[in-house]
Amino acid sequence: MRPTPVFEQLGLIGCGLMGGSFALALKQAGLVRRVAGYSKSPSTLQRARELGVIDVEAPSALLAVSGADLVLIAVPVAATEDTFKAIRHLVGPEALVMDVGSTKGDVVAAARRSFKDKLAQFVPAHPIAGKECAGVDHADARLYHGCQVILTPTPETRTAQVDRARQVWTALGAQVRQMSPEAHDAAYATVSHLPHLLAFAAMNAIGAQPQAQEFLELAGPGFRDFTRIAASDPSVWRDILLANQAEVLAQARHFRAALDTLEDAMRRQDAAALQSLIRQASEARARWRLGGQADPSAPPESP
Amino acid sequence: MRPTPVFEQLGLIGCGLMGGSFALALKQAGLVRRVAGYSKSPSTLQRARELGVIDVEAPSALLAVSGADLVLIAVPVAATEDTFKAIRHLVGPEALVMDVGSTKGDVVAAARRSFKDKLAQFVPAHPIAGKECAGVDHADARLYHGCQVILTPTPETRTAQVDRARQVWTALGAQVRQMSPEAHDAAYATVSHLPHLLAFAAMNAIGAQPQAQEFLELAGPGFRDFTRIAASDPSVWRDILLANQAEVLAQARHFRAALDTLEDAMRRQDAAALQSLIRQASEARARWRLGGQADPSAPPESP
């Protein structure tokens, strides 16, 4: 593998947790000389500079990308298309442009509509990382270390740009995979978007009952982990669930069918059927490992 | 508070994770002179002695309780009634008897049927602790430290025994609460049993799809935490879901109603309604704290 390129300037659009962590990680790895940042919120922008996440406060997205050979769009998914329009005219012909959105079909469609000839330089990316706590104050140079990053290049994207994107994320300690935007959205509807929807529903179902407070006080570590993702950012998840609506609803139908089967076994007091259904789930989960390193012979992980 | 009593002999019926951890914790706290253990599995019993969890291998449950002033029944919930019958004639008149089952209505009903006059000495207990990995090899003297323990005495239970039970668990570092068996089962259907059922269904829904393996390899930390409880022991959870069937199915109806509402907002592409539903869930989860120490002003926890 060739040495990881060192970039002259990162143009960072959006200085929250994801963008801020990327900038910090690049700096720490010595892969960028200067970070010009833009945030729609002046206080976030100022804070990003105070924290050393960015070096220059750009007065607009357009000016942040001016002179940049690497551009990261780390704004809410719903704001991505406006960002493409805003920066298009000053993205240099060799600049690598990436985003970090959790859905890819909608981002690629927006790029096709609004990024025009720059589409060849755009490598849509989805780092499987995050925290419930958003904002530049939680930016962390180690956020992407050990995580997976999915690249979903369009047919128009130049291979050289995909290679550079792969090198950058690998240098930050991530494990890079590549797939089509459609395959990405189907997979993440299953393993991320639906779980979030279910966790939101589980919290709301408790909240709708008069004994909610009493119930919640009794909850233990299993509940803590099961519902952790329910604390995620409402506007981010509104956008994700709407952008990937069809796939998420399709996965919700699979989930309801599996729940029906379990409930039926309970209603029939069919102990053997119920145990067999639980064993399927338990064995599948015990075999699973973060990052795809499943080991069929391994014992279940410690909690 | 009076000093914690020191027991002459713990009669431990069932030497798995829960029972083994209790014995180790009591020993480490200097609260018991001798542990006589019984397990239906000879290899478990031998291992319990090798690990120092028990001092004496009893040839039967009956002989384990002979001479014991403290008895812990830590067998699968479905085996509890047979245990009551097996030990009844040798439980001393002053002995404190507890269980550790995750459901309480069925255990109390079994005690009423089969423990007869010993019901006055029985303090049903549910420690909110556990691991996905079962068995005496994972027994851990710190398992109950910092966890909640729910006591659900029957009307016949002597107050002095409830006080002693409270002292023992408090001495092991647990936070003790008391409620009726019915209130317990309704609450834990909500915050534990239904979440397990949903996690089982989520795993099975993925497993039923041809791309299951590919999907699972892409899953990240959110999925890891959301599905952790799906790796739980199948026979234990079969018993819990059957024992608390009516309450769990009632909670499943609440859950489906909340899921319907979220899905409807997605289908209508009603961004404002969807965000408001997610915000409800997110804020409720962000306020929640393990052990009931909710702080309405606190920021969300770190992952």
Task: Report yes or no: A263 and A235 within 8 Å, Cβ to Cβ.
Answer: no
The CA–CA distances, whole Å, from A139 to A134, A165, A207 equal: 8, 21, 31
CATH number of A183-287: 1.10.3660.10
Contacts of B284 in chain A (CB under 8 A): 203-204, 206-207, 212, 216, 230
Dihedral sign (CA A208, A209, A210, A213):
negative
User: Other CB atoms closer than 10 Å to residue A111's CB: what's the count?
Assistant: 24
pLDDT bracket for residue B290 (50, 70, 90) = confident
- To the nearest whole angstrom, how far is the Cα of B234 from the nearest Cα of chain A? 5
pLDDT at residue B134 in the model? 78
| Cα B275 versus chain centre, distance | 35
Task: Please state, in angstroms and rounded to a whole number, the distance separating the CA atoms of residues B221 and A144.
Answer: 12
Interface test with A, best of B18, B266, B267 (most A CBs within 10 A): B266
Specify the DSSP element, H or E, that contains A298.
none
Nearest to A229 by CA among B300, B62, B276: B300
B72 touches chain A (CB under 8 A): no
Q: DSSP H helical segments within B29-98, as ranges?
A: 42-50, 61-65, 80-87
In sequence order, the β-bridge partners of residue B97 are B71, B122
3-state secondary structure labels for all residues of A36-68: EEECCCHHHHHHHHHCCCCCEECCCHHHHHCCC
Contacts of A299 in chain B (CB under 8 A): 133
Contacts with B, A 100-139, CB within 8 Å: 128-133
Contacts of B207 in chain A (CB under 8 A): 280-281, 284
Interface test with B, best of A100, A142, A176, A223 (most B CBs within 10 A): A223
The residue type at B269: Q
The CA–CA distances, whole Å, from A131 to A143, A161, A181, B16 equal: 9, 28, 24, 36
pLDDT at residue A290 in the model? 86
pLDDT digits (tens, 9 = 90+) for B162-208: 999 999 999 999 999 999 999 999 999 999 999 999 999 999 999 99
Question: Among the listed ranges A192-201, A248-257, B160-169, B289-298, which one has the minimum average pLDDT value?
Answer: B289-298
Contacts of B271 in chain A (CB under 8 A): 238, 242
Q: Which of B148, B248, B285 sits opposite A231 (nearest CB)?
A: B285
A182: phi > 0 → left, psi -120 to 50 → alpha, else beta; which? alpha
What CATH superfamily is the domain B184-287? 6-phosphogluconate dehydrogenase C-terminal like domain (1.10.3660.10)
- Tokens 């999925």 map to which residue? B223
pLDDT digits (tens, 9 = 90+) for A55-75: 999 999 999 999 999 999 999
pLDDT bracket for residue B48 (50, 70, 90) = very high
Tell me if B259 and A235 make a contact (CB, 8 A cut-off): no
Specify the DSSP element, H or E, that contains A139.
none
pLDDT digits (tens, 9 = 90+) for A163-203: 999 999 999 999 999 999 999 999 999 999 999 999 999 99
Task: Please state, in angstroms and rounded to a whole number, the distance separating the CA atoms of residues B156 and B179.
Answer: 14
pLDDT at residue A292 in the model? 66
| Cα B194 versus chain centre, distance | 14
Task: Find the closest chain B residue to A249 by CA distance.
Answer: B263
- Percentage of residues of chain B with pLDDT beyond 70: 94
Average pLDDT over residues B4-30: 95
Task: Report yes or no: A135 and A17 within 8 Å, Cβ to Cβ.
Answer: yes
Instruction: Mention every residue, 6+ apart, whose C-beta is less than 8 A from residue A258.
Output: B200, B201, B202, B204, B205, B208
pLDDT at residue A298 in the model? 41
Topology at the third CATH level for domain B7-179: Rossmann fold (3.40.50)
Domain-by-domain residue ranges, chain B? 7-179, 184-287
E strand map for chain A:
7-13, 32-38, 56-57, 70-73, 96-99, 122-123, 125-127, 148-151, 175-178
pLDDT digits (tens, 9 = 90+) for A125-172: 999 987 667 789 999 999 999 999 999 999 999 999 999 999 999 999
Average pLDDT over chain B, rounded to an integer: 93
Instruction: Mention every residue, 6+ apart, whose C-beta is less than 8 A from residue B163.
Output: none
pLDDT at residue B114 in the model? 96
The order of strands in the sheet holding A175-178 is A125-127, A148-151, A175-178
Asked if pLDDT for residue A303 goes beyond 60, the answer is: no
Interface test with B, best of A198, A279, A283 (most B CBs within 10 A): A198
A180 touches chain B (CB under 8 A): no
Under 8 Å CB pairs connecting chains A and B tally to: 333
Q: Token pair of A108, please?
A: 């690629």
Asked if pLDDT for residue A241 goes beyond 90, the answer is: yes
Q: Which of A150, A208, A300 sits opposite B258 (nearest CB)?
A: A208
Q: Token pair of B249, please?
A: 């199915």
Asked if pLDDT for residue B101 goes beyond 90, the answer is: yes
A296 touches chain B (CB under 8 A): no
A52 touches chain B (CB under 8 A): no
pLDDT digits (tens, 9 = 90+) for A3-34: 677 999 999 999 999 999 999 999 999 999 99
Contacts of B212 in chain A (CB under 8 A): 284
B264 touches chain A (CB under 8 A): no
Task: Report yes or no: B168 and B150 within 8 Å, Cβ to Cβ.
Answer: no
Query: Quick check: ipTM above 0.95?
Result: no
Q: Which of B147, B248, B262 sits opposite A201 (nearest CB)?
A: B262
Nearest to A36 by CA among A11, A68, A7: A11
- Tokens 């010009």 map to which residue? A36
Task: Report yes or no: A169 and B234 within 8 Å, Cβ to Cβ.
Answer: no
3-state SS class at A287: helix
